[in-house]
Amino acid sequence: MHQDKRKATVRIRPIEKNDNAVIADIIRLVMTEFEAIGCGFSFNDTEVDDMYSAYATNRSAFFVVELGGRVLGCGGFGPLRGADEDTCELRKMYFRSELRGLGVGTRLLGLCLEEAAKAGYRQCYLETMDSMEQARRLYGRHGFKYLQHPMGNTGHTSCGTWMVREL
């Protein structure tokens, strides 16, 4: 089964308006899987139900990941609220379980970092949870360094891991 998934075509593309419902489902599914559904998690962000509009602004981008024609993951970036204009935030990079372990995280992260640099950002910040070990390893392999405290004002007070990377 794992080999069959590797042979399926992976496509990363900008979000479209008709992706909103499936992306909201993916975000809520993954957050529930990691028991991140209470106050202070992105599960409760108002943008979750309309990611297309939330990232249609200047200096933001949001992407979906398709495997075999099905949308199974997402991620993007935008300005870090409460920080200087040179800092963006990697946001809502979530994959359904069947997409994990295929190297897609590396591809999507690379695309987000490349596009953020093109948009004029000089550093990228992210918040995650200690329990998301696979994600933390991915970020570490790609130059993100741990911080002792959060940056900006994301409203995600329940995330306990903060990282930043120069672009």
Q: What is the pLDDT of residue 7?
A: 56
Q: What is the pLDDT of residue 119?
A: 97
Domains of the chain: 2-123 (3.40.630.30)
User: Cα(153)–Cα(133) distance, rounded to whole angstroms?
Assistant: 24
Residue 90's closest CA among 18, 11, 20, 151? 151
Q: What is the pLDDT of residue 28?
A: 87
Residue type, 99: L
Could you state, in chain order, the average pLDDT of each consecutive group of 10 residues for the chain (167 residues)? 59 97 90 61 68 92 95 96 94 90 94 97 91 87 94 69 94
**DSSP 3-state assignment of 109?**
helix
